[in-house]
Amino acid sequence: MKAIVNVYLKQGVLDPQGKAAHHALESLGFHGIEDVRIGKQIVIKLDSMSKEEAITKVKEMSETLLANTVIEDYDIEIVQ
């Protein structure tokens, strides 16, 4: 079983990397882009367990280490 955790800055938190990427994309001729936000993706391979156990365990990992919940949000996807 595999867990995919996507971590990204909360709305309202400045994202200088996203702003730089947005500017660069426009400079390269990619117009019509409203906003760019940069985040990170963490892929965790888990031992066999139920989907509910996996979500609980990965949520605990995210709250403890993987995301700074003061300024970041995250979502979890479990893939079999």
53-77: pLDDT as tens digits: 999 999 999 999 999 999 999 999 9
pLDDT for residue 17 is more than 90 = yes
* pLDDT for 38: 97
Residue ranges per structural domain of the chain: 2-79
Longest dimension (CA), the chain: 48
d(CA 52, CA 59): 11
- CATH architecture, range 2-79: 2-Layer Sandwich (3.30)
| List of residues 6+ apart from 80 with CB closer than 8 A | 1, 2
**CB atoms near residue 62 (< 10 Å):** 21
Q: Which two tokens stand for residue 69?
A: 């919940």
Q: Is the pLDDT of residue 80 over 90?
A: no
Q: How far is CA 33 from CA 16, 17, 44, in A?
A: 16, 15, 31
* Stated pTM of the model: 0.88
